[in-house]
Amino acid sequence: RNAQCNKCHRIGHYGSLCRGRSKPHGSRQDVSRHSEAFDELTFDDIAIDGNAIRTEAIATVKILLHPKQEATLQGKVDTGAEGNILPLRVYKKMYPKHINKDGLPTHTKSSAVKLTAYNGTNIPHHGTVRIACRDNAKTKWKPTDFFVTDTPGSIIFGLPTSTSLNLVQLQKGGERSVHQ
């Protein structure tokens, strides 16, 4: 977790897993760029007999923060999740002007939905925020709701969003066609 990338010089991953561009050590990123990543995630691996197995699927989607201001959002694809999660810490980076004096979001829509983790633990949330998303192809923007949660975890793209944005494709199982 504390390793520094030899390619982009950021903390949290190795150069072999780097998805960023190389930059000279000590240089600053161009803050006038219209696209920026809000949450940088690393792969968590499990080693079995010395062989690393990737245990998470990470996807990047384009988002529309404000009219004509695009950005990217990286998150975990979770086909077992029915909704999307946007951690409060990421919301604060995305919408710094939409935070009250207590550090809570001001532009979310209240929701009576009860979120629970896989183990049944309740996940409190601050409502939903609608973000226009699309896959990396030039497809149409899709309004996508995210639950804003005060959790330490990653951004989560649930099954409906993952299929809608072509992050995953569901295949019909059990049927085979035979061509003669």
What whole-number percentage of the chain has pLDDT above 70?
Answer: 68
For the chain, the first-to-last Cα distance in angstroms comes to 54
Single out the residue of 121, 124, 142 nearest to residue 133, CA to CA.
142
Instruction: From residue 55, give the alpha-carbon distance in Å to each of 11, 50, 77, 92, 115.
Output: 21, 15, 11, 28, 23
pLDDT band at 82 (very low <50, low <70, confident <90, very high): very high
pLDDT in tens, 34-48: 444 554 433 344 445
CA angle 50, 51, 57 (to 5 degrees): 140
pLDDT in tens, 50-63: 565 667 888 888 89
CA angle 98, 40, 151 (to 5 degrees): 55
The confidence score (pLDDT) of residue 16 equals 64
pLDDT in tens, 116-137: 988 889 999 999 999 999 987 7
Helices (H), 10-152: 88-94
The stretch 26-30 carries a mean pLDDT of 39
Instruction: From residue 56, give the alpha-carbon distance in Å to each of 17, 24, 65.
Output: 13, 30, 26
- Indicate whether 11 pLDDT > 90: no
The stretch 24-33 carries a mean pLDDT of 39
- Indicate whether 165 pLDDT > 70: yes
Single out the residue of 23, 27, 31, 28 nearest to residue 7, CA to CA.
23
The stretch 91-109 carries a mean pLDDT of 94
